[in-house]
Amino acid sequence: MKNILPYRAFTLARKELYQYLYSPAIYGAAVFFLLFNSVSLFYFLRYFSMNQATLRTYFSVFPVAYIIVIPVITMKSWAEERKTGTVELLLTMPFTEWDLALGKFFSTFAVLSVMLLLTLSIPLSLLPLGNYDTGVIFCEYAGAFLLGVSAVALGLLLSSLSKSQTGSFLGSAVILMVVMFVNMFTYSLNLPQWLAGFINFFSLAYHFESFSKGIIDSRDVIFLALSAFLFLFINTRIIIFRKWK
């Protein structure tokens, strides 16, 4: 039983989670995530003046918040290991490269999942005030989780390429900003339809839009899942390179 890959990955993830419990940056990121989404909804977007029983504007802010939050929770994963030299010790342990990559991923995504669950206080407090479609809200949360899966995997990949937490944070924030909102260029530029579609295909926020409308499109689900797998796969190749370096 102990030789099964998921078991070893979850064992490593549990160790990582203990470390997150003692990280002030994680608590700061959680507070920022909750406040940023709430303030954006009620102050900047003036939710109550819209007079509509929908939370689409609330979830539209999530990709923006991810640009800051995900680099914070992923920057320590590999960059700190390299800086302190513990990565060499970790690579000599009886873990495969997939154990290590998935262990880091499970722990980081668990942290993000807790943050997302804490945001339920907003929908729950608004449901009695209007005739909200709970099915749409479920789709929006499903999209937020899937978007988080891909973004966390990308953040971990960029952390594995960095030698410091600062470099990891800045690099992840910039790359996430690009892959989140590259589709904005197609809205502002008069591009041919085929080119606009090609650019949109690589935008994470673009694949989140259908979920925010209450639609679970299998193409978006597959893209977000496969992109996460691709980022994790590249991460395992980097681990193998470090083992033989």
CA distance 235 to 229: 10
Place of tokens 């640009």: 67
In a domain, 79, yes or no: yes
User: Is 235 buried (19+), middle (13-18) or exposed (0-12) by CB count in 10 A?
Assistant: buried
In a domain, 105, yes or no: no
Quick: pLDDT tens for 62-105: 999 999 999 999 988 887 777 776 777 777 777 888 988 999 99
In a domain, 204, yes or no: yes
Whole-structure pTM value: 0.91
In a domain, 107, yes or no: no
Quick: pLDDT tens for 109-135: 999 999 999 999 999 999 988 888 899
Write out the residue range of the structural domain in which residue 148 sits: 18-90+113-244
In a domain, 99, yes or no: no
Domain count, the chain: 1
In a domain, 96, yes or no: no
In a domain, 1, yes or no: no
